[in-house]
Copies of this chain bind each other. A is one copy, B any other.
Amino acid sequence: MALEHAILVSLLEKPGSGYELARRFERSIGYFWTASHQQIYRVLKRMESDGWVDVRDVPQQGRPDKKEYSVAALGRDALAGWLHEPIQPESVRHDLAVKIRGAAFDDPAALIREVERHRQAHTERLAHYLAGQARDFPESRSPGTDACTGPGSDPHPVALPSPPDAGRELQHVVLRGGIAYERMMLDWLDDVLATLRRLGSAR
């Protein structure tokens, strides 16, 4: 389980209400972990009773009051503990792969539309990630593998990434992972489409 830890990370990056957390889970954090507001409120309540987070009532004008959550000492400890214990590499769950193998007992061509829909969704996500990267990390160029970030790309050789910049760097490497994932998926879905079309035209 990591939802509570994801919430701790998000609240450490910036305190906020359950509603705000829910919106973050549709955006940045949601790139690699999803959660609905119902889930968040439920877990937040448990975390509060466990003393992992502090709550503060924030009256607002022009909109409903909110509860602002921030990480307490116990929460920090819990996060540190989790960070230091090993987790096992997650197992994959691909509905689409099940469908593709199932298509052998149905009409493979009938899946083409579905795969195209998924391809479209991944294209949009990739564009979204790339836009985020261009906005938040404008220093990263080269749409390629990013492998050759040699010297000279930095305009003025300021200090090496100091602790305050670590969070930014880490957010960026996670985002690069999302980008790599979407690119891989697009390539594979093209492979799938080619295979389905080949099978369809062969009969």
Contact = CB atoms under 8 A, between A and B. Distances in A.
Given A12-B105, A80-B106, A84-B110, A169 B195 contact: yes
A74 interface: no
B93 A9 contact: no
Contact of A99 (B83, B97, B122): B83
A127 interface: no
A94 B90 contact: yes
Interface string A108-147: 1011001001100110000000000000000000000110
A148 interface: no
Interface stretch (A37-45, A60-68, A172-180): A172-180
A29 B92 CA distance: 11
Given A33-B93, A83-B110, A188-B177, A9 B102 contact: yes
A69 to B, nearest CB: 16
A72 interface: no
A101 B161 contact: no
Contacts of A171: 101, 104
Interface in A11-51: 12-13, 29-34
A114 B92 contact: no
Given A9-B101, A12-B102, A33-B92, 17 more contacts: A5-B102, A8-B102, A12-B104, A29-B101, A33-B98, A80-B106, A83-B102, A84-B106, A90-B95, A97-B177, A101-B171, A103-B166, A145-B187, A146-B191, A170-B199, A180-B187, A183-B184
Which A-B residue pairs are the 8 nearest by beta carbons? A104-B167, A32-B97, A32-B94, A160-B202, A184-B184, A34-B91, A89-B121, A9-B102
